Amino acid sequence: MAEMERTFVAVKPDGLQRGLVGEIVSRFEKRGLKLVGLRLLQVTRQMAETHYGEHKGKPFFDGLVKFITSGPVVAMVWEGKDAIAIARATIGATNPASAAPGTIRGDLAIEIGRNVVHGSDGPESASREIGIFFSENELISGWSRNLDSWLTELVTK
Ligand code: DAT
Ligand code: MG
């Protein structure tokens, strides 16, 4: 049985500038994941460098940090069975030019440096990234939805 997972998702500054926050949140809601954390914030340079630490030294790193700190982001935690892989699939390929239609990046973006949304790529990065943006008491995972039994056989009480 697959485990319940939490994943970190963020609407990047281009998504806010373009008025896409509602559209992007809606896609995760409709998919069936459960929202357990939500924050609007300005990412600091230090947070950005920690969050994107795995890319330090790559040619696009400075531009990436500049972009993610260029305006507010909407940081979220979504929970569900296989939430990490489901969120990544909903987001689509890193480069929107090759992202499948139907995915967020495949429908709403055209290039890699403006790909509107972030999603954790595995359990370790999810837990690390959630910790950068949220403290445990800012997450509400104890709430249940009446529709859960229509989304999953794994209904938790
Ligand atoms: P993802 O965001 O799909 O997890 P990633 O972790 O490989 O992709 O890279 C983080 C972000 O960095 C990505 O969303 C956009 C930017 N990026 C990645 N590769 C890039 C490249 N070759 N040129 C410019 N920006 C890049
Ligand atoms: Mg990544």
In one-letter notation, the amino acid at residue 44 is T
- Residue 122: CB within 6 Å of ligand 1? no
Summarised one tens digit per residue, pLDDT across range 99-110 is 999 999 999 999
Q: How far does the centroid of ligand 1 lie from the alpha carbon of residue 26, in Å? A: 23
Q: Which residues surround ligand 2, an ion (CB under 5 A)?
A: 121
- Residue 118: CB within 6 Å of ligand 1? yes
Is 118 noted as a catalytic residue in this protein? yes
Report how far apart, in Å, the C-alpha atoms of 30 and of each of 5, 26, 120, 128, 135 are.
Answer: 17, 6, 19, 26, 26
- Residue 53: CB within 6 Å of ligand 1? no
- Residue 60: CB within 6 Å of ligand 1? yes
Confidence grade of residue 2 (pLDDT, cut at 50, 70, 90)? low
Q: Among the residues of 52-157, which ranges form H helices? A: 61-68, 83-91, 104-108, 123-133, 148-151
Summarised one tens digit per residue, pLDDT across range 39-70 is 999 999 999 999 999 999 999 999 999 999 99
**Residue of the CA atom closest to atom 12 of ligand 1:** 64
Pairing relation of β-strands 34-41 and 4-11?
A: unpaired
Q: How far does the centroid of ligand 1 lie from the alpha carbon of residue 112, in Å? A: 7
What is the rounded distance in angstroms from the CA atom of residue 133 to the CA atom of residue 75? 7
Average the pLDDT over 124-134 and give the result.
98
